[in-house]
Amino acid sequence: MAEEKAEVNAVRKLTATLGTNLDGIVPAVKKFIREKDEALGRSS
């Protein structure tokens, strides 16, 4: 059996954490960053 690439394993973890598929990972992370920054800005 071919050795699994580390990136494939990382994506598997990310899809499980974010509840999205491969295509949704980057937009989801960007959304979290944006919302975190907005929330911090508005609560200060």
27 scored as a contact of another protein (CB under 8 A): no
Q: Are 28 and 34 in contact (CB under 8 A)?
A: no
- Give me the least distance between CB of 43 and another protein, in Å please: 4
For the CB of residue 20, give the shortest distance to another protein in the complex, in Å.
10
Residues 6+ apart with CB under 8 A from 14: 25
Half-sphere exposure of residue 18, counting CA atoms within 13 Å on the CB side?
A: 19
Q: Which chain residues interact with another protein by CB under 8 A?
A: 1-2, 4-8, 10-18, 21-22, 25-26, 29-30, 32-33, 35-36, 39-40, 42-43
